[in-house]
DNA sequence: TCCCAGGACTACT
DNA sequence: AGTAGTCCTGGG
């Protein structure tokens, strides 16, 4: 068990749509990471983390929840640039952008296309239960997300059996590309956002939105972002801007390299506050 | 039973 | 260059 300062908003961070495989408990959350299961509980001062695998835990947590980035400063900078977004920043104070493994993020967001959250979760759980490593934690069984080696042995119909529907062939092809390094997930770290976006969109099954989510949640490229209905609503209500291209122009001009973060805060505010 | 939501691709102009 | 139709699942 480790404890860290409770200086972030665990609930928003976990439930705001960036994480699919989590479970809400009476006193906290279970989250399934790449290589372990964690349980997070909290009081006013601390967040307590337990795992089936304690080694390196603090470092992994700090990395996954992006705890070492100075969000206070970023938020300060954004609110200096723009007053209108301030309520959203205050409301979502403590929301962190998670830092997930590229492989999992790519699979998750391909499945998410034209799909709803419960159905996405169902598919991810099926994939994990069938092909992932079983882990026992506090007398309960969990399944980690399958490795690239495991995934690359699946057929199109294996994917189909996990209820991914027409996305089966996309997953099959992309997993193969990753395995053969035709989709080089490591090279993306070094690309600028524009090139990375173009690179990802070349692969069948990855469009603009999916690519944006991958770059934001796996590569922490804060200047790329998906624009969904909640963000559109915010932009229309607050600024009277309706078209997506105009929204992109505007957010880029105002929020610059922090656009992805600003957008996520907007999304959380618009969707969750009254 | 049908209908709908939800991204990206394909095949058309 | 732009767009209608299509792919599948789960839920109303």
In this prediction, residue A103 carries a pLDDT of 96
Between CA A273 and CA A90 the distance in angstroms is 11
Nucleotide nearest to A110 (CA to C1'): B7
Question: Residue A232 above 80 pLDDT?
Answer: no
Structure tokens that stand for A177 in this block: 């590309």
> Residue A273: what pLDDT?
66
Helical (H) or strand (E) element with A86? helix A86-91
Interstrand relation of A28-32 and A37-42 (parallel, antiparallel or unpaired): antiparallel
At residue A88 the predicted structure's pLDDT band, cuts being 50, 70 and 90, is confident
Q: Round to whole Å and give the CA distance between A144 and A135.
A: 7
Residue bearing the bigger pLDDT, A127 or A7: A127
Task: Give pLDDT, residue A62.
Answer: 95
User: Is the pTM of the predicted complex or chain greater than 0.85?
Assistant: yes
Res A244 pLDDT > 80:
no
Nucleotide nearest to A114 (CA to C1'): B6
Distance of A109 CA from B7 C1′ (whole Å): 10
Backbone angles phi, psi at A4, to 5 degrees: -130, 160
Burial readout A188-221 (b: 16 or more C-beta within 10 A, e: otherwise): beebebeebbebbeebebbeeebbbbbbbbbbbb
Mean pLDDT of chain A: 90
Residue A70: alpha-carbon gap to chain centroid: 19
Question: What is the per-residue pLDDT across A161-192, written as a single tens digit (0 to 9) for each?
Answer: 999 999 999 999 999 999 999 999 999 999 99
Question: How high is the pLDDT of residue A274?
Answer: 54
Instruction: Please report which confidence band the pLDDT of residue A245 belongs to, taking 50, 70 and 90 as the band edges.
Output: confident
pLDDT band at A237 (very low <50, low <70, confident <90, very high): confident
Element holding A42 (H helix, E strand): strand A37-42
Determine the distance between A253 (CA) and C4 (C1') in angstroms: 34
For the cut 90, the answer to whether the pLDDT of residue A150 exceeds it is: yes
* A14-56 pLDDT, tens digit each: 988 889 999 999 999 999 999 999 999 999 999 999 999 999 9
Rounded to whole angstroms, how far apart are CA atoms A4 and A108? Answer: 28
Check whether A226 has a pLDDT greater than 60.
yes
Query: How much is the pLDDT for A258?
Result: 85
The answer to whether the beta carbon of residue A118 comes closer than 7 angstroms to any atom of strand C is yes
Give yes or no for residue A253 having a pLDDT over 90: no
Give the pLDDT confidence score for residue A31 in this predicted structure. 96
Q: Classify residue A47 as left (phi > 0), alpha (psi -120 to 50) or beta.
A: beta
What is the nearest nucleotide to A209, using C1' and CA? Answer: B7
pLDDT at A2 over 90: yes
pLDDT at A51: 97
B10 closest protein residue (CA to C1'): A204
Q: Using the CA of A165, which nucleotide's C1' is the nearest one? A: C8
**Poorest-confidence range of A41-45, A135-139, A204-208, A260-264?**
A260-264
Q: Which bases along strand C come within 7 Å of a protein CB atom?
A: 7-11
Over residues A91-136, the pLDDT tens digits come to: 888 899 999 999 999 999 999 999 988 999 999 999 999 999 999 9
């Amino acid at each position: 068990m480790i404890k860290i300062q409770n200086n972030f908003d665990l609930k928003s961070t976990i439930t705001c749509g960036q994480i699919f495989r989590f479970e809400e408990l009476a006193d906290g959350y279970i989250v399934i990471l790449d290589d372990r299961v964690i349980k997070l509980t909290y009081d006013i001062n601390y967040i307590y983390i337990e795992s089936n695998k304690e080694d390196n835990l603090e470092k992994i947590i700090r990395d996954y929840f992006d705890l070492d980035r100075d969000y206070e400063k970023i938020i300060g900078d954004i609110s200096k640039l723009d007053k209108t977004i301030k309520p959203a920043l205050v409301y979502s104070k403590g929301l962190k952008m998670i830092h997930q493994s590229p492989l999992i993020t790519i699979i998750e967001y391909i499945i998410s296309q034209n799909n709803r959250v419960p159905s996405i979760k169902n598919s991810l759980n099926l994939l994990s239960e069938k092909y992932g490593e079983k882990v026992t934690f506090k007398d309960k069984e969990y399944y980690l997300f399958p490795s690239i080696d495991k995934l690359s042995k699946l057929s199109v119909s294996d994917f189909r059996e996990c209820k991914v529907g027409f996305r089966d062939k996309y997953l099959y092809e992309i997993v193969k590309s990753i395995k053969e390094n035709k989709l080089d997930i490591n090279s993306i770290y070094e690309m600028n956002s524009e090139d990375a976006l173009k690179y990802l969109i070349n692969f069948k099954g990855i469009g603009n939105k999916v690519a944006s989510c991958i770059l934001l949640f796996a590569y922490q490229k804060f200047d790329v972002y998906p624009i969904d209905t909640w963000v559109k609503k915010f932009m229309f209500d607050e600024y009277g801007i309706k078209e997506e291209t105009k929204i992109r122009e505007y957010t880029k001009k105002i929020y610059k390299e922090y656009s992805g973060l600003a957008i996520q805060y907007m999304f959380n505010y618009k969707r969750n506050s009254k």
